Structure 1
């Protein structure tokens, strides 16, 4: 590693350590009892510096940090996911208003997209999707390995365009394709029956 890269790496480590110390002090000042784990944060800063300086191709610092944060949150449990501003805006569209898609409430199970419920009257509802159906493919893309947000993006699109979902229905132990025409979906915050 060249002398300049070593200096840049140590400057990066120093800057991150300083920032983390400041954040740690702010956290303690706000009344939190446990400060940030400085040793582990220094290790993270060292790895960040090495990847930045020694990886065979240039890397995007912001993407590295976003991916590190995403990995940290995703490791908590299968339902936790980190959203940056853009992803959060897209996610909110599906939960607070209107969007173009197939009309299903989903979660993740074993790396696949699980249908929690088709939205009543939606294209997915009319196509016969059921709670607990697992989506294994979206068009020609295998779902395993995609984040929930990536899967949602693939199912959304322009109105009156088609998307083919490959469904695995556990209770029938079978897989089958379903072609669904995307439509504008209006979501409800609350629904009830009397």
Structure 2
């Protein structure tokens, strides 16, 4: 991707993130994203097939930018804590016809799958999945665990979650996987 294309892609991601900080995901249209990005709808579709793909790209890019060398579980918790104002707008409104829970499940599953497919990493969770004869079930189990963490944030609110306790639990889970990887 050339510099101009990368700049346009980042422009779209940034505008989407700004909009998501202001209102719920299901109330944001591709037209609004295009206007906020200073592009046309057809340009939007050259970069992303749909709004769900844009959401996936935003989450993936942000996680990689924030903590690229951290294990998956640590990256996820840090992402949720840093982007809580945006994530709270991923919960569907009453008018919504979209099933964001299913969308988020799919995004998490695909993020984990990509890491597993990318080959060896210094991440005990990914290494354990790579070695497993039941990769898809393992990915689903990890994805379910991450959704459980996210749902806890949604139900309790970010300020109500004991962050030290959460970090300790993530370290404990990570250490269990490190034992499996050895």
TM over 0.5: no
TM-score range, shorter chain: under 0.3
TM-score using structure 2 length: 0.27
- Higher-Rg structure is 1
Q: Kindly indicate whether structure 1 or structure 2 has the higher relative contact order, using CA contacts under 8 Å at least 6 residues apart.
A: 2
More strand as a share of residues: 1
TM-score using structure 1 length: 0.26
More helix as a share of residues: 2
